[in-house]
Structure 1
Amino acid sequence: MKKQDAMNRDPIATARTLSEAVPYLQRYDQATVVVKFGGNAMGDDAAMDTFARDIVLMQQVGVNPVVVHGGGPMINEMLDQLGIKSDFVRGKRVTDAATVRVVEMVLSGLVNKRIVQAINGQGGKAVGLSGKDANLMICDQTNPDLGFVGTPVEVNTEVLRHLHKAEMIPVVAPLGMGRNGETFNVNGDTAAGAIAAALKADRLLLLTDVSGVKDASGQVVTELTPQQIIELTEQGVIAGGMIPKTETALDAIAGGVRAVVILDGRAPNACLLELFTEHGAGSLIRTPR
């Protein structure tokens, strides 16, 4: 009897969840959402499939998703296999001519196509491209000391809009084209922020390996303003690897993105929880309304 009760409750709970999601489904109908995907989930087949299923569901309920991915661990593994030494300056990879060839091979090939395959395997229609395709991201060199590392200065979103009109999901590798034809390695968060700003996206979701922005007591702050981000950074509360993510968030908001969410990509269905439930996930950053 107890087993039967549990079975009866599951459909009821599912129906209730769907009913409660209706206002959020309406809210995000035809909204553009840029998702930065990276971290541990990229190396886990089960997590990859869950992520891909979430992206497909987002599109099927009317969202226009753009996936921008990283691939640092995979790049490191390939460089090690090839015996190419890689140095870092302030957390950014020094990218010489040999390294940038490996970066392009791994990001545009191995990583990008794996994500595309996962999305297509869940019933979606994903198309992989890099920032070099259709001049999506034109970059300037970030710092001569870093070599072929670029900062996006021009983002041409026409190809992304065409893919959305064709009901396809763009999956973008963070590589850019220089004005003289150079290939530049672009930080994944930076690329996602630049693309989101150019699209005037409703949301930029930065999936990471932590649960969000934390205050001085170590508790996740569920909603912050850009000014609070600046203050927490000046106080040293926001530090280390969280600084580039919050800087990306501030730049994206200044560029026209409605809100940025930093959330734990390891949590099952993190994107769906953030978009389609009352509770959300992670830390929401936006200007005061």
Structure 2
Amino acid sequence: MQRYDSKTVVVKYGGHAMGDPMLAQNFARDIVLLKQAAVNPIVVHGGGPQIGSLLERLNIRSEFKGGLRVTDRETMEVVEMVLAGSVNKEIVTAINSQGGRAVGISGKDANLMRAKRLERLWRDPDSNIETVMDLGFVGEPAAVDPHVIEVFLHSDLIPVIAPIGVGPDGETLNINADTFAAALASALKAKRLLLLTDVKGVLDKNGELIKSLTTAEAQALIEDGTISGGMIPKIEGCLDVIAEGVEAVVILNGKVPHAVLLELFTEHGAGTLIERRRHRAGAKGTA
């Protein structure tokens, strides 16, 4: 516990764990305990399944380009309603019910997260011509003003943040929750960034959990194909965060009860820890 005394820990909370009432209660209790233990937890949450469910109920069809959802103005209104509204307040209520003092905000509040339109290149498989995809109101971090978060850190309040930002013309932009949390952790030089997912961490070629990786080892696993698919951009994002000054990033399964406490307060952790040099005791390495 002394290792994290007065330190900032950014927790990205998402995936199916958000839809399980018991896991959500455990998560809220863990966050409250961190605050009571003099840790400064900051929660950034997703909400993809909830957004998809409401879009379906409203009969709003989504268009996809290159595997990415195009967010038009009508869809963006639903995204903001769900992320900054219902999902955010559910998490705030859960934390408060466990004795915490949570406050829900979004990246738009106090200009916390300035964003720019996300651009992705798409190559036509027939002509082999690359074009820039227009994904609508999808953004990526451009600048972080952490002042409002620093105010929270000097109080008993726990910030719960919806991953939407404000664009250059004042428009609302939807930002991937992992990307949002990474940018915030970098700006705050957080002690830890915890990415709660639906998988237990980085797996080796035998499907076993790798408990600890250095940044060099993680890069090597990408190059040899051990890390593949959707895990590649997640790991690359982790490497960028560490390069920006965050001490370590952990990928762990949010469906494991009390995963946050197990990771921070037990010797062997609960997921895959990525850092510049290995410090975790009993780490299995990459063999």
Q: TM-score, normalised by structure 1?
A: 0.89
Structure 2 counterpart of 1:107? 83
Q: CA deviation at 1:265?
A: 0.6
SS of match in other structure, 2:173: strand
Q: 1:123: which partner in 2?
A: 99
Distance in structure 1 (CA, Å) of the matches to 2:92 and 2:233: 26
Establish whether residue 32 from structure 1 lines up as the match of residue 22 from structure 2: no
- The amino acid across from 1:42 in the alignment is M
SS of residue matched to 2:49: helix
Q: Which residue in 2 is equivalent to 1:18?
A: none
Q: Which moved more, 1:97-106 or 1:234-243?
A: 234-243
What are the residue-to-residue correspondences of 1:179-258 with 2, within 5 Å?
A: 179-258=168-247
Corresponding residue SS for 2:137: coil
Deviation at 1:241, TM superposition (A): 2.4
Distance in 1 of aligned mates of 2:9 and 2:46 = 17
Q: Which has the higher helix share?
A: 1
List aligned pairs for 1:172-183, cutoff 5 A.
172-183=161-172
Aligned-residue CA RMSD (Å)? 1.1
Quote the residue 1:72 is aligned against: 48
Alignment coverage as a number of residue pairs: 265
Whole-angstrom distance in 1 between the partners of 2:159 and 2:193? 15
Give the percent of matched residue pairs that are identical in Structure 1 and Structure 2.
59
SS at match of 2:6: coil
1:276 aligns with 2:265: yes
Shift in Å at residue 212 of structure 1? 0.5
Deviation per CA, 1:205-262, whole angstroms, max 9, x where unpaired?
A: 0000111001122111111122222221222221222123212211211111000000
Residues 1:28 and 1:50: Cα distance change in structure 2 (over 3 Å): same
C-alpha distance after superposition, 1:139-184 (max 9, x if no partner): 1111252111111010111101101212100000000001110110
Off by >2 Å, runs of 4+ in structure 1: 87-93
Structure 1 position 86 matched with structure 2 position 41: no
Corresponding position of 2:34 = 58
Q: Deviations over 1:49-84 (max 9, x none)?
A: 000000000000010000000000000001101111
SS of 2:22 mapped into structure 1: helix
More strand per residue: 2
Structure 1 segment 138-157 matched on structure 2, within 5 A: 138-143=114-119, 144-157=133-146
Give the Å deviation of 1:279: 1.6
Matched to 1:51, the amino acid is F
Note closer, same or farther for the CA distance 1:247–1:30 as it changes in structure 2 (3 Å cut).
same
- TM-score of the two chains, using structure 2 as the length reference: 0.90
Q: Secondary structure at the match of 1:59?
A: helix
CA distance in 1, matches of 2:136, 2:222: 28
For structure 2, the residue ranges without an aligned partner over 5 or more in a row are 120-132, 279-287
Q: Larger deviation: 31-40 or 236-245?
A: 236-245
